[in-house]
Structure 1
């Protein structure tokens, strides 16, 4: 059900945003013969990390449920942000496969020279792990961790299939997949139980990133790691680039959404710089 909802949200968002971009930036002037290299057209696909969820400046016109922000790395790099909260590799593929050639999104992708994708976390349930394991329910945590282990083997094939769909819609684009940061900085003063939990969750991030990197290699596309960029800036550090506030029933919904997503600094100094290097922009 989550994947189906993600497909609907991503499809609506992509259409709305792409129409604006096409009207404002892609083809507003008369065609002219030129021998110079055409300007790069960058499109970002993927989940909430691509959308910029957790950024302090919501994107105007972002459809409900996608939680885009102007602090996304796509926006910071001058690209078209088609990220959507909850998206999976299957949802991205389905959204692309269902595009008609005349769809504004298809036209935008057809002009793209660079495409990045942040996806995989929702496929395997890392968000559920983070929520379950920071609660007091040890059984829920163990079950969520096992769920990730069970889901990881299917991820490479799904990512490779997604990349094939991207290539069909963006045949001229260089494609890169991005990884995810370790959520925690493990320090010497951290209590033993918290240190064990943080180490476990960081290890899951490493497994997920290794799986995504392997899928990128199998698909013949690039992989951008953000692990080093976020080192020393996880939850528990003196300068965290990852949101986390202990949940309370009185908290507004947007506060819960921010948890385990990058801060503005995480997007600008972590993801933007890493993706910028990967795309050679």
Structure 2
């Protein structure tokens, strides 16, 4: 029993540290300006490319990947400049403190994924992996309460700062995919947990989309592009729990970046 408790503790610690999303004015710029002006890619690990491999050594713990959708969009469109500042584990406060320095009057396009770490993504997944159905649902309800009460103001702070620093930019706020295909035989979490996690992703996306729209930004919904490629689909573009590299768990694969995120940014930009 003592060994079991220690193992469970280590498992929880690994998940909590490794699963972190690794760790304006209404008038927007025209698509032509977005293509010819500078491009700045902000956000958390879903933008930095954790899970896609091919990490840029100089990015250190931010784990920026050459297979991440910002890098791929830059390669395909050759904007006048490219600043890739998205960082594994970033929260809204981290974006404000560390990622906005490249924004300016010449910025034509900004992309960002943010909010998942603020809402406690890592702890939600840790709880749902290690606890009962009721424990998982309770933690998700706590996260939803945060999304209702606190996250909108946090997002406003980031969006206001982007608009102030890059007033001519087209801003594309990308959301998060649903994690699981439901109604299939799949080892791991119960169907109850999977459905609740998907519901939480929808809840977070709805909140982010509302704040983006209120700032005149474009919301890029990736749930449609990931449909059919969720965990348990047999053709997943998302890593499930990966004990060899815990930090990549529940993050898009290279195919998820190129097939799930890139088309949405390309369409919105």
Residue 165 of structure 1, aligned match among 148, 161, 165: 161
Matched, 1:271 2:266: no
Q: Which runs of 5+ in 2 are unaligned?
A: 1-31, 75-81
CA distance in 1, matches of 2:38, 2:97: 22
| Equivalent residue pairs, number | 229
**What is the CA–CA distance in structure 1 between the aligned matches of 2:228 and 2:122, rounded to whole Å?**
21
Residue 41 of structure 2 aligns with which residue?
Answer: 44
Which residues of structure 1 form unaligned runs of 5+? 1-35, 100-104
Cα RMSD over matched residues?
Answer: 2.3
- The match for 2:88 is 85
Aligned counterpart, 1:262: 252
Q: 1:234 aligns with which of 230, 240, 261?
A: 230
- TM-score for both structures, normalised by structure 1: 0.75
What is the distance in 2 between the residues matched to 1:258 and 1:246? 7
The alpha-carbon deviation at position 45 of structure 1 amounts to 0.3
Aligned with residue 146 of structure 2, among 146, 151, 170: 151
Separation (CA, whole Å) in 2 of partners of 1:222 and 1:141: 32
User: Which residue does the alignment assign to 1:185?
Assistant: 181
Residue 136 (structure 2) aligns with: 141
Larger deviation: 45-54 or 134-143? Answer: 134-143
2:68 corresponds in structure 1 to: 72
Whole-Å separation in 1 of the counterparts to 2:189 and 2:62: 35
Runs of 4+, deviation exceeding 6 Å: none
Find 2:202's aligned residue among 200, 206, 219: 206
Which residue number in structure 2 is paired with residue 124 of structure 1?
Answer: 119
Aligned residue for 1:62, secondary structure, equals helix
